[in-house]
């Protein structure tokens, strides 16, 4: 086990979560599934990490100690360099109207805590493979251009 030096090479996920136990759970779970993890407990840091590292997906808690997840999502979607990164919002409060607010902020989808782990893993796989599919289409389009 300690001799295993394989480096993770799967899609990179930025986890934004201020609850330590949730963060550890998500980190261990996603690492186990082969993802590379970046993590922070703060909204401002999340925006900065996203700019620097261009993760393939962001898991974004809505209730954070500094700026809210909604504000972080608005900033990420307002910038060209981070706009295309899918955001899965995680929220503990599920009141009527919240989903609308979350989606209006620019988050792509909304998951209420406590989340179902299998469903979350499936959702993450869908969003990260969608990006791979788009990349393949782009390559094909480029090849077609060359042929013409
Ligand atoms: Mn929180």
Q: 141 CA to middle of ligand 1, Å? A: 42
Supply the range of the domain harboring residue 20: 12-147
- Give residue-wise pLDDT tens across range 92-106: 766 667 888 999 999
The whole-number pLDDT of residue 148 equals 44
- Give residue-wise pLDDT tens across range 110-148: 898 888 999 999 999 999 986 555 555 555 555 554 444
Q: 75 CA to middle of ligand 1, Å? A: 18
Residue 69 lies in a domain: yes
- Give residue-wise pLDDT tens across range 4-13: 555 557 899 9
Residue 1 lies in a domain: no
Looking up residue 32, the CATH number of its domain turns out to be 3.40.50.2300
Q: 17 CA to middle of ligand 1, Å? A: 6
Three-state secondary-structure class, residue 16: strand
Q: 34 CA to middle of ligand 1, Å? A: 25
| Residue 25 token pair | 């759970």
Residue 2 lies in a domain: no
Residue 3 lies in a domain: no
Q: How confident is the model at residue 30 (pLDDT cuts 50, 70, 90)?
A: very high
The whole-number pLDDT of residue 2 equals 45
Q: 120 CA to middle of ligand 1, Å? A: 17
| Residue 48 token pair | 């900065």
The whole-number pLDDT of residue 124 equals 96
* H-helix segments, 33-116: 43-53, 69-78, 98-104
Residue 46 lies in a domain: yes
- Give residue-wise pLDDT tens across range 50-95: 999 999 999 999 999 999 999 999 999 999 999 999 999 998 766 6
Residue 68 lies in a domain: yes
Q: 101 CA to middle of ligand 1, Å? A: 17
Q: 142 CA to middle of ligand 1, Å? A: 43
Give the count of domains, the chain.
1
Q: 43-53 and 69-78 are packed helices; what angle lies between their axes, rounded to 10 degrees?
A: 30
Q: 124 CA to middle of ligand 1, Å? A: 20
């Amino acid at each position: 086990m300690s001799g295993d030096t394989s480096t993770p090479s799967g899609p990179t996920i930025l986890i934004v979560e201020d609850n330590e136990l949730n963060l550890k759970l998500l980190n261990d779970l996603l690492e186990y599934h082969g993802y590379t993890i970046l993590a922070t407990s703060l909204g401002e840091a999340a925006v900065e990490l996203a700019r620097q590292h261009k993760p393939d997906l962001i898991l974004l808690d809505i209730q954070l100690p500094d700026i809210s997840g909604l504000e972080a999502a608005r900033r990420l979607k307002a910038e060209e360099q981070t706009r295309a990164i899918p955001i899965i919002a995680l929220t503990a409060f599920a009141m009527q109207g919240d989903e609308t607010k979350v989606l209006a902020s620019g988050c792509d989808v909304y998951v209420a805590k406590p989340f179902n782990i299998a469903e979350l893993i499936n959702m993450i796989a869908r969003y990260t493979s969608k990006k791979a599919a788009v990349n393949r289409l782009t390559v094909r389009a480029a090849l077609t251009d060359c042929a013409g």
